[in-house]
Homo-oligomer: A and B are copies of this chain.
Amino acid sequence: MAQLSTQLKYYQQRIEKVLDSVLPPATINPAHLHEAMRYSVLGGGKRIRPLLVYATGEALGIDAHILDIPAAAVELIHVYSLIHDDLPAMDDDDLRHNKLTCHKAFDEATAILAGDALQALSSYLLAHSPQLSIPARQRLHLIELLTMASGSRGMAGGQAIDLMSTGQSLSEPELENMHIHKTGALIRAAVQLAVVAAGETSSHRKEKLDHYAKCVGLAFQVRDDILDIESDTETLGKPQGADIALDKVTYPAIMGLQNAREKALHLYTEAITQLDAFGSEADNLRNIADFIVKRLK
């Protein structure tokens, strides 16, 4: 099993503190809603998207301090999407990260509103947080990237495609198109946020990092599909075989388990190759790719 580097584990702790500090305290009214937001955001998840923000920043030589708010903003979007995806009208999941999903721990209405409020908080932080010491134009660019990646032509659109295609037979390109939107767009945005915050100007480096992000995003999904078959419920933190139970199209279902494993490895190699233009400063990006393809949950 691939381990996260010490530095990436440090970033995991760092983003936990940042998220804790940007979320409204549960003591402030409406307390019930703020509790639900905090419950869903804090204390769970691999934080892949924030790790990508920090590791990309490292590769481009900028301080982690500049990246705290972009990293938090992308994670808030990710968590809101999980809350809504878990709702009975969507994937109807009871467990996430080994704890009850938001609508199970609270109720459906609170879960819908908690998701809505987290999305608003994400743009609010990018627009306003004094911690984010970059020029106004760059801030706007961050908001543009993240809202485009999460809207109807990004993540929300991907979830719509997923729901429409459940129970259908999909070709590999169709499945890929769904994932490029549903999870790929936000993972790509995570890397782009760091690129913009860093003020990176080399289009060669920007293209390489974007290509890396595309490969990592798709590899993440292929690995997810494999884990849905291979792993057990306790390790996954959500029910094993959930995709199959929901009649979802998966890579192993389309191409067989062995081919899916090879596809994940191929994407991993392609991701790593993109980082050839970088030295050891991109080691944490390499480590994330390694972790994503070899993780057990």
Since A30-B157, A33-B156, A136-B136 are in contact, a sample of 18 more A-B pairs with Cβ atoms closer than 8 Å, ordered by chain A residue number, is A30-B152, A30-B161, A113-B160, A116-B116, A116-B150, A117-B152, A117-B156, A119-B119, A121-B151, A124-B147, A127-B140, A127-B143, A127-B144, A128-B140, A128-B143, A128-B144, A128-B148, A136-B137
> Which residues of B are found within 8 Å of A148, using beta-carbon distances?
120, 124, 128
With A24-B153, A30-B152 as contacts: A119 and B117 at CB distance below 8 Å: no
Tell me how far the C-beta of A274 lies from the nearest C-beta in chain B, rounded to whole angstroms.
27
Given contacts A152-B37, A157-B117, contact A147 B164 (CB under 8 A): no
Distance in angstroms between the alpha carbons of A29 and B178 in the assembled complex? 11
- Known A119-B119, A152-B121; judge A147-B127 contact (CB<8 A): yes
- A119-B119, A140-B127 are contacts. A24–B152 as well, Cβ < 8 Å? yes
Q: Which of A63-71, A103-111, A201-209, A256-264 binds B?
A: A103-111
Within the complex, what minimum Cβ distance (angstroms) separates A131 from chain B?
Answer: 14
B30–A160 CB distance below 8 A: yes
Asked whether any CB of chain B lies closer than 8 Å to the CB of A79, the reply is: no
**A130-159 near B? 1/0 per residue, CB < 8 Å:** 000001110111011001101111101101
Q: How many copies does the complex hold?
A: 2
> With an 8 A cutoff between CB atoms, is A115 at the interface?
yes
- Does B128 contact A108, Cβ atoms closer than 8 Å? no
Q: Please, how many angstroms separate the alpha-carbon atoms of A28 and B156 in the complex? A: 14
Q: How far apart sit A87 and B120, CA to CA, in the bound complex (Å)? A: 19
Which B residues lie within 8 Å of A141 (CB)? 127
Q: In this assembly, does A250 line the interface, its C-beta being within 8 Å of a C-beta of chain B?
A: no
* 30 A–B contacts, CB within 8 A, in A order: A30-B157, A37-B152, A84-B112, A84-B113, A87-B112, A89-B107, A89-B108, A90-B109, A113-B156, A113-B159, A113-B160, A115-B116, A116-B150, A116-B156, A120-B147, A120-B154, A120-B156, A123-B123, A123-B147, A124-B144, A124-B148, A124-B151, A126-B143, A127-B140, A127-B147, A128-B148, A135-B136, A136-B139, A136-B140, A140-B140
Residues of B within 8 Å of A110, CB to CB, are 160, 163
Closest to A154 in B: B120
